[in-house]
């Protein structure tokens, strides 16, 4: 379980995050949703410790990052896997090289054991015949899969994903979402996913934190997101034509029940 | 202006303390080191070779044309060509040229890694990214650059020999005699010491600019230009200081 308490963050005197409180549960896919530019990435980087929030603290299963010494922080880092928005694969390494990378640096396994583990992760994310290709030679969806394989190589307890399906077609997005959800439940990880995609929200939104212009405006899940009273959330959710239709149906349903 | 330069210098020093740490895994470090020696050093050989041949030839022509006094012995053409190559060209000029090639290569590569979050990805894994990425580059280039320097000296002299052999400006005997006379071995060491210092400046400054890029592709381009400009200026400055220290 990861807990964020009263997180505030400034950049050059400009406030980006306002006093955010949130809890992300173990064994669930936790979503951080919000418009582009609302501060999701900054919040996630604060959670991981890539950025230092000026106020508030982050607790990993009760351990505050701020109070950790360097060794404890390094140890924590090996328990974290992260999927970056642009995949952040190493250009000069092959697919196998990318997945091998964290193993090569941190795994106590023998070389053969590391190869086996890397191959297991590559198979797990459903990549075939791509081991010797370079990141520039494979599609965006495959890059995401490689990034997931790399992120789970060391069997992390915590998995962070920044917009895992940005730039992917809807079908591939759903496949990636399902993969993340499966992995999370299979290994009991604490998974946190940044997204602005309503398909993901409805597909894997077991616990949802909505951020609007740096404020945490709503916390809930995919079951109650359509029945929220928050204006900003409704603006976000019902922005597209499709969901406006949904809204009409929901309103009609409510009227019908009221009668 | 002065304050910001001092700040930048401080940040550069902090960066270097990040870079020069014990590597997480020595085996990985050595394999990266070999890779960088190959990429930054060995791949620069053709460039160094071509430039040295031509400049050697041009210096030889210039010396022949300009030393026409009957008072000066005819072997002085070879002598002057050799001294120019050993003292300045094969160290300073070659490093200025390599600052363009190697410096921009390093700055743009590391800058791209920064803006595509590859560096963040390493940091997240708990790897000291500055050490992992930059140290092999600095060490690799420093280790190989003496070879480039000696190469450049040799092929510069070969360039002059071509002029002696294939034109009627001077005779081969004269040239060979010239490049052998009054030889001071220290000048070779002086050239090598300078190139090592310059190599450190080129690689560390380029890495510094690349590592702290913020933004996107445009900023990466700017960082690589800035890296080349700054390292060129610092090479010239270091040249003055080293010459004063080493030749007096
Ligand atoms: N390193 C930074 N320096 C200054 N401002 C930043 C930095 N990173 C992000 N911001 C600002 O923070 C705001 C939120 O950005 P971000 O978290 O990337 O949004 P998103 O929700 O799309 O991920 C933006 O207005 C952005 O300009
Ligand atoms: Mg973002």
Structure tokens at A226: 């359509």
Can you give the residue range of the structural domain that contains A7? 2-226
Task: Looking at the CA of residue A12, tell me the nearest atom of ligand 1.
Answer: 4
Cβ of A179: how many Cβ atoms within 10 Å? 17
| Tens of pLDDT, residues A124-149 | 888 888 999 999 999 988 999 999 99
Q: Are B130 and B150 in contact (CB under 8 A)?
A: no
Question: What pLDDT, on the 0 to 100 scale, is given for residue A8?
Answer: 94
Structure tokens at A185: 């439940």
Nearest-by-Cβ selection for A78 from B117, B123, B126: B126
Q: Does residue A241 lie within any of the structural domains?
A: no
Pocket test for ligand 1, best of A32, A33, A42, A83 (most atoms within 8 A of CB): A42
Specify burial of residue B116 (Cβ count, 10 A radius: 0-12, 13-18, 19+): buried
Alpha-helix runs per DSSP H in chain B: 2-19, 26-36, 45-66, 76-84, 94-98, 104-115, 118-125, 129-166, 172-180, 186-211, 217-247
Chain B, window 194-223: residues with a beta carbon less than 8 angstroms from a chain A beta carbon: none
Q: Are B196 and B142 in contact (CB under 8 A)?
A: yes
User: Picking from A219-228, B45-54, B124-133, which range would have the lowest pLDDT averaged per residue?
Assistant: A219-228
Give the residue from B148, B248, B124 showing the smallest Cα distance to B202.
B148
Give the residue from A168, B162, B199 showing the smallest Cα distance to A148.
A168
Question: What pLDDT, on the 0 to 100 scale, is given for residue A253?
Answer: 86
Nearest-by-Cβ selection for B121 from A84, A104, A154: A84
Q: What are the angstrom distances between the C-alpha of A123 and each of A86, A128, A178?
A: 22, 7, 15
> Alpha carbon B129 to chain centroid distance?
25
ipTM score of the complex?
A: 0.85
Q: What are the angstrom distances between the C-alpha of B78 and each of A57, B62, B71, B247?
A: 72, 11, 16, 21
Q: Does residue A257 lie within any of the structural domains?
A: no
Q: What is the CATH number of the domain that holds A36?
A: 3.40.50.300
Nearest-by-Cβ selection for B126 from A45, A74, A90: A74
Interchain CB distance below 8 Å, A102 and B118: no
Tell me how many domains chain A contains: 1
Strand ranges of the sheet holding A63-64, from the earlier edge strand across to the other edge: A63-64, A55-60, A2-11, A14-24, A215-220, A207-212, A29-33, A190-195, A158-162, A80-83
* A85 shares contact with chain B (CB less than 8 Å): yes
The neighbouring-strand residues paired with A30 are A192, A207
Give the residue from B17, B214, B34 showing the smallest Cα distance to B137.
B34
Question: What pLDDT, on the 0 to 100 scale, is given for residue B167?
Answer: 85
Q: Does residue A234 lie within any of the structural domains?
A: no
Tens of each residue's pLDDT in chain A, 259 residues: 999 999 999 999 999 999 999 999 999 999 999 999 999 999 999 999 889 999 999 999 988 988 888 888 888 888 999 999 888 999 999 999 999 999 998 888 999 999 999 999 999 888 888 999 999 999 988 999 999 999 999 999 999 999 998 888 888 899 899 999 999 999 999 999 999 988 888 889 999 999 999 999 999 988 888 888 888 988 888 888 888 888 888 888 888 888 8
* B127 shares contact with chain A (CB less than 8 Å): yes
* A88 shares contact with chain B (CB less than 8 Å): yes
Q: Does residue A243 lie within any of the structural domains?
A: no
Task: Looking at the CA of residue A162, tell me the nearest atom of ligand 1.
Answer: 23
Q: What are the angstrom distances between the C-alpha of B145 and each of A202, B39, B59, B141?
A: 59, 12, 23, 6
Q: Does residue A84 lie within any of the structural domains?
A: yes
Question: What pLDDT, on the 0 to 100 scale, is given for residue B6?
Answer: 93
Distance separating alpha carbons of residues A193 and A180, to the nearest angstrom:
9
Residue B68 above 80 pLDDT? Answer: no
Sign of the Cα torsion A176, A180, A183, A186 reads negative
Q: Does residue A100 lie within any of the structural domains?
A: yes
Can you tell me which residue has the tokens 């190599």? B199
| Tens of pLDDT, residues B182-241 | 888 899 999 999 999 999 999 999 999 999 999 999 999 999 999 999 999 999 999 999
Residue B74 above 80 pLDDT? Answer: no
Nearest CA to ligand 1 atom 19: A37
Q: Count of residues for chain A?
A: 259
Q: Does residue A52 lie within any of the structural domains?
A: yes
Helix, strand, or coil here: A47? Answer: helix
Question: What pLDDT, on the 0 to 100 scale, is given for residue A158?
Answer: 94
Q: Does residue A119 lie within any of the structural domains?
A: yes
Nearest CA to ligand 1 atom 23: A41
Residue in A102, A111, A192 to test binding to B, most B beta-carbons within 10 Å: A102
Question: What pLDDT, on the 0 to 100 scale, is given for residue A199?
Answer: 87
Average pLDDT of B45-49?
A: 95
């Amino acid at each position: 379980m990861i807990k964020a308490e009263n997180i505030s963050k400034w950049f050059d005197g400009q406030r980006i995050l306002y006093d955010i409180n949130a809890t992300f549960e173990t064994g669930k896919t936790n979503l951080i949703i919000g418009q582009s530019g609302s501060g999701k990435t900054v919040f996630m980087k604060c959670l991981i410790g890539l950025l230092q929030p000026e106020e508030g603290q982050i607790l990993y299963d009760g351990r505050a990052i701020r109070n950790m010494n360097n060794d404890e922080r390094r140890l924590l880092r090996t328990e974290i896997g992260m999927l970056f928005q642009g995949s952040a694969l190493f250009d000069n390494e092959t697919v196998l090289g990318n997945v091998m990378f964290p193993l090569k640096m941190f795994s106590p396994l023998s070389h053969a054991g590391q190869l086996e583990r890397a191959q297991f992760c590559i198979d797990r994310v459903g990549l075939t015949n791509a081991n010797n290709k370079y990141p520039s030679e494979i599609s965006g969806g495959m890059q995401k899969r490689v990034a997931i394989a790399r992120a789970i190589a060391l069997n992390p307890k915590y998995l962070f994903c920044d917009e895992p399906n940005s730039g992917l077609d809807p079908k591939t997005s759903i496949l990636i979402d399902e993969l993340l959800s499966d992995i999370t439940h299979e290994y009991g990880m604490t998974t946190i996913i940044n997204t602005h995609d309503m398909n993901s929200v409805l597909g894997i939104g077991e616990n949802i934190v909505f951020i609007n212009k740096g404020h945490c405006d709503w916390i809930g899940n995919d079951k109650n997101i359509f029945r929220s009273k928050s204006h900003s959330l409704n603006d976000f959710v019902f922005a597209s034509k499709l969901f406006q239709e949904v809204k009409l149906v929901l309103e009609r349903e409510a009227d019908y029940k009221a009668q | 202006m002065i304050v910001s330069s001092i700040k930048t210098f401080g940040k550069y020093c902090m960066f270097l303390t990040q870079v020069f740490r014990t590597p997480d895994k020595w085996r990985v470090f050595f394999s990266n080191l070999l890779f960088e020696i190959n990429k930054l050093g060995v791949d620069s050989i053709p460039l160094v070779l071509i430039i040295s041949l031509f400049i050697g030839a041009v210096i030889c022509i210039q010396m022949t044309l300009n030393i026409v006094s009957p008072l000066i012995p005819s072997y002085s053409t070879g002598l002057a060509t050799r001294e120019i190559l050993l003292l300045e060209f094969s160290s300073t000029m070659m490093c200025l040229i390599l600052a363009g090639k190697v410096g921009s290569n390093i700055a743009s590569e590391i800058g791209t890694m920064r803006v595509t979050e590859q560096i963040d990805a390493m940091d997240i894994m708990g790897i000291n990214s500055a050490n992992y990425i930059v140290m092999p580059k600095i060490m690799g280039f420093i280790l190989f650059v003496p070879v480039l320097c000696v190469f450049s000296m040799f092929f510069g002299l070969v360039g002059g020999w071509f002029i002696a052999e294939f034109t009627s400006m001077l005779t081969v005997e004269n040239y060979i005699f010239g490049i052998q006379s009054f030889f001071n071995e220290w000048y070779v060491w002086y050239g090598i010491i300078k190139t090592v210092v310059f190599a450190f400046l080129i690689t560390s400054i380029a890495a510094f600019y690349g590592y702290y890029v913020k933004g996107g592709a445009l900023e990466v381009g700017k960082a690589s230009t800035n890296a080349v400009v700054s390292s060129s200026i610092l090479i010239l400055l270091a040249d003055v200081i080293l010459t004063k220290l080493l030749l007096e």
